[in-house]
Structure 1
Amino acid sequence: MSKLILLADTSTRLVCYFTNWSQYRTGDGKFMPSNIDPNLCTHLIYAFSGINEENELVTTEWNDEELYKAFNGLKQRNPNLKTLLAELLEAYKAEGAATGKPRLLTSAAVSAAKGTVDAGYEIAEISKYLDFINVMTYDFHGSWESVTGHHSPLCKGSNDTGDHVYLNTDFAMRYWQEKGTPVEKLNMGFATYGRTFRLSTESSQVGAPTSGPAAAGVFTKEAGFWSYYELCTFLRGASVRLIEEQKVPYATKENEWVGYDNQESFETKVHYLKCNRFGGAFVWALDLDDFNGQFCGQGNYTLISHLHSLLASDLPSPPTSHTFSNQSTLCTCNDQLHSRPHPRPTITTSSRIPDNSFCATKADGIYVKLDAPGSFYSCANGITWILHCPDNLVFRESCKCCDWP
């Protein structure tokens, strides 16, 4: 019998970006701070502010002060929530001493491209002063290229040559670690959008010739870019395929091609993240998920809600008598990861308890639910979540895992 143990020291940090230009989208695409679920993410980052020639913080939108007040006010509904302002020059420890409050957090969103990293960052040095680092493991490919490619692959593709062997999440995360970043400070990027291409021949596989981007999305109105909720509309009637070696999907319809992430690819990526004990995940962006549940038919925040649950828990491999492989060693992009069979068990449901009474005084972690053998509590920043094991599995306190009876 084999099982995957829930690591008590694995972080459930989930950093989510709010973009101040999403307010200008029309209809169901319009996104304001009031659309944010304050219990979904552990940290929220407001994007963006600016810095003028005098090194002073300045607004970039006419109503930034009003929006930021509403954004920061979300902490009234979740006192454990951390809010940050992107492009802030410094976060002084002296601020904490002066106010008696915890010091401000400092973070950075950094490139995942090797050439940019080599030219632009003294990694070991900046890592000393940052609380966490968001590695932008997306936009590796896009319609600026002449062939199709997934913008956020987990692993290198078999056809990648030259510098393209660096254009994947696995290489980027390991490179930042190898260059001196403590693993617990690294957040892996998750994209809630897709990158599109227009096919120029009958070929539609990865590396197929293209002639630019597909049509702009109805709400995002940017050529080569679709939000996840726009993707859900496209996927109806589309042909969906998995890039097996890179563990991410793409879809085609007529001459349009889009690479994207879904709940299943998020599962694979979170398994990789947790197995490597990276500090957490970050999402670009809140407003690009199906935040109001209008398009994908899977509830509010289809991807981010699933990501939240995945970070709080993981699943075992079934017994060896079944046809599943042991997932507990799948930490790297090697043949073992590439050959993992499908299907595999997934978290079926999760729910949050409104009064948060169970987790109010408990440390973050996983706890047994005595009245329901197939369920368990997940505590994150004082918020109480109930997660459910897949069918026929029960939760065991001894290993803090779902296991076969």
Structure 2
Amino acid sequence: MQKFILLAGLCAIFADTCVASKKLACVYQSNSDEIGANPFDILRDIDTQLCNQIIYSSLKPTPVSLTSCDERKFQAFAEIKKSHPELQTFLEVDLSTAGSQIFTPENLKIFIPSVIEHLVIGNFDGLNIKWVAEKSSSELNIKQLFIAFIKELKRELGQRQLSLSVSAAQSDIIKSYDFSELSKYVDFFYVMSFDLDRQSSSNGQAQFPNVKKAMQFFADKGVAKEKFLMGISSYGYGAQQAIIPKFQEFSHPPEEAYFDSAETIEAKANFIKNSEYGGVIVKALNLDDFNGKAGKGNYPVIQHIHDIILD
């Protein structure tokens, strides 16, 4: 009894060590460095104290293997990892257009070694797979193929972590993922809820019902909530879904521009802080106002989320 009371007291004093810590994963969008005429440099502009995970997004197989990468950017990631070993870095491979043929045993023998080679080049801690089933896929068959693919991938990765970017659309979730099986091999699920509930505020109260609905749908699958990180965007979008960097919201926004309000971003971050979910994934480092061009400090979106869920 005395031991129990002592343990309870220690937990009350050192609460952070008795509760699973939140994750803040930040995406580096490798094809967005020049958007908005505000060039991003990995070594100069990545703040290694801001996020505890950074995801390099992304490479695509052609057709079933990774054949090339930007070696300069990969080496920059390797250098960051060397000087900040506590920072977790992930390479994202986008399979959204790869089709199910990549899941066959023959093609896996080609695909997986090419992935491992690129993980070594960039000294990445883990691999993130971005995938959702094609609309024409047979639901049962494609789920089983994907589970077998993830299982083999995890086995070959060894000590490296494996994460999965999943759709926030309920129809995609039902068609694509068997979470009870996938959770045996996947360390984190990144929920791609970045563009849900844009500017949905009412009477000063930030509302994001579709995001909450998606997160609850995942929770109902029986998988530990701490494995799920909710997506928040640092960018806006305009006509024809064109991506608009954060700094342009304050300087020269297009006539048609949609950004999450500061109130909505804060409400989303507090929702995660006060929940059992694992944290937040923000897209993207180089689409936030990373160098304070608008005069509101560096990384105004990501820094605010950091201050809420990590401090």
Q: Same fold (TM over 0.5)?
A: yes
Match of 1:174 among 205, 213, 216: 216
- Which residue does the alignment assign to 2:208? 155
**Helix, strand or coil for the counterpart of 1:17?**
strand
Larger radius of gyration: 1
Alignment of 1:66 onto 2:64: no
**Cα shift at 1:38:** 1.6
In percent, how many aligned pairs have the same letter? 31
Cα pair 1:187 1:280 within 8 Å, conserved: yes
- 1:120 deviation in Å? 1.5
Query: What is residue 208 of structure 1 aligned with on the other side?
Result: none
Contact 1:40/1:308 (<8 A) preserved: yes
Residue number among 46, 54, 76 corresponding to 1:44 in the alignment: 54
Q: Counterpart of 1:280? A: 279
The answer as to whether partners of 1:20 and 1:48 remain within 8 angstroms in 2 is yes
* Counterpart code for 1:9: V
Deviations 1:201-248 (A, max 9, x none): xxxxxxxxxxxx2xxxxxxxx75431111112147xxxxxxxxxxxxx
Partner Cα distance (2:173, 2:274) in 1: 24
Helix, strand or coil for the counterpart of 1:51? coil
- The one of the two structures with greater contact order (alpha-carbon pairs below 8 A, sep at least 6) is 2
Give the count of matched residue pairs.
236
Q: Secondary structure at the match of 1:108?
A: strand
Equivalent residue, structure 1, for 2:30: 20
In the TM superposition, residue 45 of structure 1 has moved relative to its aligned partner by: 0.8
Paired residue type of 1:16? C
Shift of 1:93: 5.3
Counterpart residue number, 1:79: 85
Aligned to 2:247: 229
TM superposition score normalised by structure 1: 0.53
Contact 1:49–1:58 at 8 Å: present in 2 too?
no
Q: Residue 236 of structure 2 contacts residue 258 of structure 2 at CA under 8 Å; is this kept in 1?
A: yes
Superposed displacement of residue 41, structure 1: 0.9
Whole-Å Cα distance in 2 between the matches of residues 40 and 230 of structure 1? 22
Indicate whether 1:106 and 2:106 are aligned: no
Structure with the higher helix share, 1 or 2:
2
Cα offset, 1:46, TM superposition: 0.7
CA distance, structure 2, for counterparts of residue 121 and residue 95 of structure 1: 21
Give the letter aligned to residue 58 of structure 1.
Answer: T
Q: Indicate conservation of the 8 Å contact 1:15/1:45, yes or no.
A: yes
Match of 1:306 in 2: 304
Q: Contact 2:194 / 2:283 at 8 angstroms: preserved in 1?
A: no
Question: Which one-letter code corresponds to 2:42 in the other structure?
Answer: P
Distance 2:276 2:190 in 1: 15
In the superposition, relative to structure 1, how do residues 170 and 26 fare at CA in structure 2: closer, same or farther (>3 Å)? closer
SS state at 1:188 partner: strand
- Cα 1:23–1:227 change in 2 (3 A) is closer
Counterpart contact for 1:154–1:170, Cα < 8 Å? no
User: Pick from 149, 174, 182: which aligns with 1:118?
Assistant: 174
Preserved CA contact (<8 Å) 2:230 2:280: yes
- Runs of 4+ displaced beyond 6 Å: none
| Unaligned ranges ≥5, structure 1 | 97-102, 143-147, 157-167, 197-212, 214-221, 236-252, 314-405
Q: Which digits, 9 at most, give the CA deviation of each residue in 1:342-399, with x for residues without a partner?
A: xxxxxxxxxxxxxxxxxxxxxxxxxxxxxxxxxxxxxxxxxxxxxxxxxxxxxxxxxx
Secondary structure of 2:171's partner? helix
1:6-405 equivalences under 5 Å are 8-25=18-35, 27=37, 29-34=38-43, 35-53=45-63, 55-59=64-68, 64-87=70-93, 88=127, 92=154, 96=158, 103-140=159-196, 154-156=207-209, 168-196=210-238, 213=239, 224-234=242-252, 256-295=255-294, 297-313=295-311
From the superposition, tell whether residues 49 and 267 of structure 1 become closer, same or farther in structure 2 (CA, over 3 Å): same
Report SS of the residue matched to 1:300: coil
